[in-house]
Amino acid sequence: EAGVAQSPRYKIIEKRQSVAFWCNPISGHATLYWYQQILGQGPKLLIQFQNNGVVDDSQLPKDRFSAERLKGVDSTLKIQPAKLEDSAVYLCASSLGDRDNEKLFFGSGTQLSVL
Amino acid sequence: SQQGEEDPQALSIQEGENATMNCSYKTSINNLQWYRQNSGRGLVHLILIRSNEREKHSGRLRVTLDTSKKSSSLLITASRAADTASYFCATSRMDSSYKLIFGSGTRLLVRP
């Protein structure tokens, strides 16, 4: 079974530039999550999709972050413009999304450095 | 905001010893999960315990849940150097969103 795929693996940009991350979840997984993990901290949920609808985006900085899930499968997360404090690992995860299968499968993440 | 807080923040033990990590949370939960993260990698699911369960085992892992104290513990027995990683608890709220909120993690170092 293929895992959650993320790209790019690393990205270095200057502040005020824009950046996009891509995620391909496990086939058949209805729920997709984007987490932000700052060094030394736990993952913080940015946005959660159920199929192609947004379930929760309460902690997404909507003035600069946007995300979409195309046809309920792949997803992209965009930051525009980036700030220094956006330096973090961006993790994508997916799950089947039903009560009996709530464990998350994570990708390896995209490490973003904003200079 | 983060729901769970792990204790200790860091733990260093000798290979063969047991490692115990604790997690406290704030609101009612549907289940609590533990994940492991090796340096520079994504998180890997270890074990899930539901709110009506008190203890669960998986190989060398033992998880307990005390909903009255809003706390959980993860015990790794007979630790190995390969167990060196960060361990996170995550709680799932009692609604239909399946939203999973992670704690701040315990960094475990197992010395060979």
pLDDT, tens only, A24-38: 999 999 999 999 999
CB contact under 8 Å between B42 and A95, yes or no, is no
Chain position carrying tokens 């009692």: B94
Neighbours of B95 (CB within 10 A): 9
- Please give the structure tokens belonging to residue A58: 């309460």
Q: pLDDT value at position B98? A: 67
Output phi, psi for B81, to 5 deg: -55, -30
- Alpha carbon distance B22, B44 (integer Å): 18
Tell me chain B's radius of gyration from C-alpha atoms: 13
User: Which ranges of chain B have pLDDT less than 70?
Assistant: 1-4, 95-98
**CA dist., res. A77 & res. A84, Å (int):** 17
For chain A, say whether B104 makes contact (Cβ under 8 Å): yes
Q: What is the pLDDT of residue B1?
A: 45
Q: Measure the CA–CA gap between B21 and B46, rounded to whole angstroms.
A: 14
pLDDT at A41: 92
Q: Cα–Cα distance between B100 and A92 in angstroms, integer?
A: 13
Measure the CA–CA gap between A11 and A5, rounded to whole angstroms: 16
Q: Test B33 with A95 for CB contact under 8 angstroms.
A: no
Say whether pLDDT at A4 is over 90.
yes
Res B28: pLDDT: 87
Q: Do B110 and B19 contact (CB within 8 A), yes or no?
A: yes
Torsion, CA B36, CA A75, CA A8, CA A94, rounded to 10 = 20
Whether residue A35 contacts residue A65, with contact meaning beta carbons closer than 8 Å, is answered with no
Q: What is the per-residue pLDDT across A44-78, written as a single tens digit (0 to 9) for each?
A: 999 999 988 998 999 999 999 999 998 889 999 99
- Rounded to an integer, what distance in angstroms lies between the CA atom of residue B70 and that of residue B91? 11
Domains in chain A, ordered, with CATH?
A: 5-114 (2.60.40.10)
What is the DSSP code (8-state) at residue B81?
Answer: G
Residue of A nearest to B30 (CA): A99
Given a cut of 80, is residue A17 above it in pLDDT? yes
Provide the pLDDT for residue B97.
Answer: 66
| Predicted local confidence at residue B92, as pLDDT | 86
What is the mean pLDDT of the segment spanning A99-112?
88
Q: What is the pLDDT of residue B56?
A: 97
pLDDT of residue A1: 63
Flag the least confident range among A10-14, A109-113, B24-28, B80-84.
B24-28
| A71/B contact by beta carbon, under 8 A | no
Contacts of B43 in chain A (CB under 8 A): 43, 91, 93, 104, 106
The predicted structure's pLDDT at residue A71 = 85
A102 compared with B60, residue with greater pLDDT: B60
User: Which residues in chain B have their CB less than 8 angstroms from residue A41's CB?
Assistant: 104-105
Which residue of chain A is at minimal alpha-carbon distance from B92? A102
Query: Please, which residues bridge with residue B58 across strands?
Result: B61
Domains of chain B (ranges; CATH) run 5-111 (2.60.40.10)
Residue A88 contacts B, CB cutoff 8 Å: no
Q: Is A73 helix (H, G, I), strand (E, B) or coil?
A: coil
Residue A94 CB contacts under 8 Å (≥ 6 apart), including other chains: A4, A25, A26, A29, A31, A32, A33, A104, A105
Do the Cβ atoms of B42 and A31 come within 8 Å?
no
Q: What is the DSSP-derived secondary structure letter of residue B97?
A: T
- What are the distances in angstroms from CA B90 to CA A21, A73, A80? 24, 25, 29
Is A55 within 8 Å of B97 when comparing Cβ atoms? yes
pLDDT at B94: 73
Kindly indicate the confidence band of residue A100, based on its pLDDT and cuts at 50, 70 and 90: low
